[in-house]
Amino acid sequence: MSEKAQPTYAKKLRLVVIGGVAGGASAAARARRLSEDAEIIVIERGPDVSFANCGLPYHIGGEIQDRGKLALQTPATLKSMLRLDVRNLTEALDIDREAHTVRIRNVETGVEEDLAYDKLILSPGASPLTPPLPGIELPGIYTLRNLQDMDQIKEAAAEARHVAIIGAGFIGLEMAEQLIHLGKEVALVELVDQVLPQMDKDMVQAVEEDLREHGVELILGDGIDGFEKMSDGLRAKLKSGQKLETDMVILSIGVRPENALAKAAGLELGARGHIVANAWMQTTDPDIYAVGDASQTTDPILGGPTAIALGGPANRQGRTAADHIFLGDKAQPYPGSIGTSIVRVFDVAAGVTGFTEKRLRQAGVDFGKTVVSDFDHASYYPGATHLTLKILWDKADGRLLGGQAFGANGVDKRLDVLATAIKGKLTVEELEHLELAYAPPFGSAKDPVNIAGFSANNIRSGFVQPVYSLAESPANAQVVDVRPPEMVALKAIPGAINIPYPQLRDRLGELDPARPVVTICALGKTSYFAARVLAQRGFDAFAHVGGAKVEPSVQQVEQPKLPAGPSCCSTPAAPFVKAASAESDEEVVKLDATGMACPGPILRVKEAATALKPGQVLEVRASDAGFKNDLPAFCRANGYECLSVQKDKGVVVGRLRLSTDVLPAGWRPSGSPARSGGGASGPRNGATLVCFSGDLDKAMATFIIANGAVAMGGKATIFFTFWGLNVLRKDVAPASAVEGKSFMDKMFGWMLPRGADKLPLSQMHMAGMGTRMMKDRMKSKNLPNLLGLMEEAKKAGVRLVACTMSMDAMGIRAEELIDGVELGGVAEFLGASGDTGTNLFI
């Protein structure tokens, strides 16, 4: 392949560009700026030669209202401004490389002609994938590539109630967001088990949560298998057998390069069908260049081929090709693409640059990684929200290989810094000392990028042993949750010992020095501190990187409870500010808890709520992501009325007031002495029960009382501890089948009854004969059995809570319990007891 170009010509050069939009239009515009004499002809198959294809979803959703703003240039403006000969609605049919001609056809008239060229630039782009599935050609199935596609989708969406989007990449997520803005029901189907397959799974959990919060139905780990026509819509058939009824379908499952011209001309194609180009975007024919989504260049990070379908690279590649045609060796070569991408999904932005963990594994690279969370600007400045970064580096030399980020604000800034660092071949050591813009409204003295460098170098230097998920913990490890007890009560970590970090030095005797210790906190910082304490005291200590925020086993364990006391790591919030309510005569007490990590916001709410007077409303703003779930749970547990909880751009705004019928436990008018009883002044209904026994008759009595309490209009919670846990066990294979269990844990699993149907009677069991007789008698007398009582309890809303300490002692894992069981500790029982008038131990 030649890397030379002739910078001068005896005659006027004719440049033909096939394809407009990003790459082709940029090449033609740059060519005109370099040569006033050249004849420049642009061939475009569609009606629009230059439009903002990245803005198409936002016009569909109404954020970009003026359609005309998406048409960046027209044939007329390009002719008047740049003297370009633009031939839209014209298709290139064939390239004769020897004759230096292109066969073209007007798609309206059908007239064909041969167009001579001196230099040819191919910018055909990429077309959306439409796999050969049954029903793929049915009306109502759309792809989004150009303005005409956009118009069709916008028109169809106006009449649709439900839309199914196939593919949860960047475009799929943008379309889901915009359709929700239009008030549509949206189902998002993705073949892999996460949204944004371009990123690592641990970095998209917040995006998935935000999608669900806004009503998007996520169907993950399931692919499309075909479509059927219905009388009033479509039916999408999934590989799992599930059928999804919808009004319209948008396919967003990837793109493939438009390579037919290049292939027919004998140009070299890459493994994925892209047109191979060198550093100046020349193909194997030195007079033909290829730019944009259809071209293949060199990966600047690890070497080897790469193809990135993004507008930014396409624009720059078009410029490089034009420069090489008119400047020759003076042109700057194209340095390759690293794929920096970002997407906004409602309140969250997420993005990636360079390599991900998945791609590095595929490439066989030995890499290191870390995940850090901090605030997007100074935590004490109002409105600070959490930002999470993940960086990956080459273990051999520490060179940065990739970065990912998510958060409400500041994601683009950090991605840009990491992208620049990757292109500059910086190491993670150099991230520590990057000097980035800082003032309280914009950043922190230690930017999250700096902190990512600190964390990476702690790992590289051996200063800390990392663990990235509890499932990867060393064998026989002790998991120590160093968060404050208030946070543990809100969201427990199964199997962990809670020793708050400030108490750790004084409670080392509770740990076995012969066993490894894994420390975990909310965001990863405090777990590192704790691991350093333990390591210097002789423990084999490991720190969980990223903390509970990214730990998979914690994500589904929501335990919203009343914090039990002050937190060692909470920071002062702004003073309460009183203001008149715009909606009623109630006085509003405002509390700013932004910039505080959990449990700081909920502790401040507890303090402020206790001081409320009748007729006052507490309005609190918090940037902790979990606060949206924590506030309603706090109100339920303590008798407050939760008026509203909304999230806007990463900040949760919640309002609560004193309940009109039940005063919360411990509440007293502001300034008055505490009541000696400390209880609620209003009536309390329901029951809180501790099921300690694993006997059939006692378990039945427990559920009968709980169901009765709910039937009387109260609430009921059953707390299962020790032998009572057997009531909740699934009747499945022996516990030895659960991976990672110790021998003693397996022994307990063999000896204990598996589930409610295997429980013995407390009296007259008689090796099982008495129990069978009792079940038969109850059936003959039409009395309920235990399994029926349990189903009735679930439907009635009885809360079933398993004691995590007892589970650990007996070697029972969460996956061995029936569905619908929550995990909790003594604070769970005490919090529930405060809500009810009856407390029983069975």
Phi and psi at residue 230, in whole multiples of 5°?
Answer: -115, 170
Q: Scanning the structure block, which residue is given the tokens 């919090």? A: 831
Q: What CA–CA distance (Å, rounded) separates 291 from 307?
A: 10
Number of Cβ within a 10 Å radius of residue 728: 23
Q: What CA–CA distance (Å, rounded) separates 415 from 421?
A: 10
Spell out the residues 6+ positions from residue 422 whose beta carbon is closer than 8 angstroms to its own.
301, 338, 353, 354, 400, 401, 402, 403
Structure token digits, residue 160: 């649709």
Q: What CA–CA distance (Å, rounded) separates 629 from 737?
A: 35
Q: What CA–CA distance (Å, rounded) separates 320 from 340?
A: 19
Spell out the residues 6+ positions from residue 523 whose beta carbon is closer than 8 angstroms to its own.
372, 373, 374, 386, 546, 547, 548, 549, 597
Q: What CA–CA distance (Å, rounded) separates 71 from 468?
A: 47
Q: Which amino acid is at 11?
A: K
Q: Scanning the structure block, which residue is given the tokens 């208030």? A: 486
Q: What CA–CA distance (Å, rounded) separates 246 from 236?
A: 8
Residue 659 DSSP label = -
Query: Pairing state of beta strands 162-166 and 248-251?
Result: parallel
Structure token digits, residue 680: 């609620």
The H or E element spanning position 697 is helix 696-711
Q: What CA–CA distance (Å, rounded) separates 486 from 731?
A: 34
Phi and psi at residue 746, in whole multiples of 5°?
Answer: -65, -40
Selection from 97, 94, 78 nearest residue 86 by Cα = 78
Number of Cβ within a 10 Å radius of residue 838: 15
CB-neighbour burial class of residue 210 (10 A; exposed 0-12, middle 13-18, buried 19+): buried
Instruction: Catalogue the active-site residues.
Output: 54
Cα-based angle 434, 439, 440 (whole degrees, multiple of 5): 120
Peptide bond into 760 cis (omega under 30): no
Collapsing DSSP states into helix, strand and coil, what is residue 740? coil
Q: What CA–CA distance (Å, rounded) separates 510 from 534?
A: 12
Q: What is the CB-side half-sphere exposure of residue 533 using CA atoms within 13 A?
A: 19
Cα-based angle 697, 700, 701 (whole degrees, multiple of 5): 90
How many angstroms separate the Cα of 402 from the Cα of each of 389, 534, 661? 11, 31, 56
E-state strands within 710-837: 715-720, 799-803, 821-824
How many angstroms separate the Cα of 214 from the Cα of each of 176, 185, 347, 472, 598? 10, 10, 10, 33, 23
Q: What CA–CA distance (Å, rounded) separates 735 from 65?
A: 59
Sign of CA dihedral 253, 257, 261, 264: negative
Query: Pairing state of beta strands 640-648 and 651-658?
Result: antiparallel
How many angstroms separate the Cα of 333 from the Cα of each of 226, 297, 329, 422, 754? 45, 11, 9, 18, 68
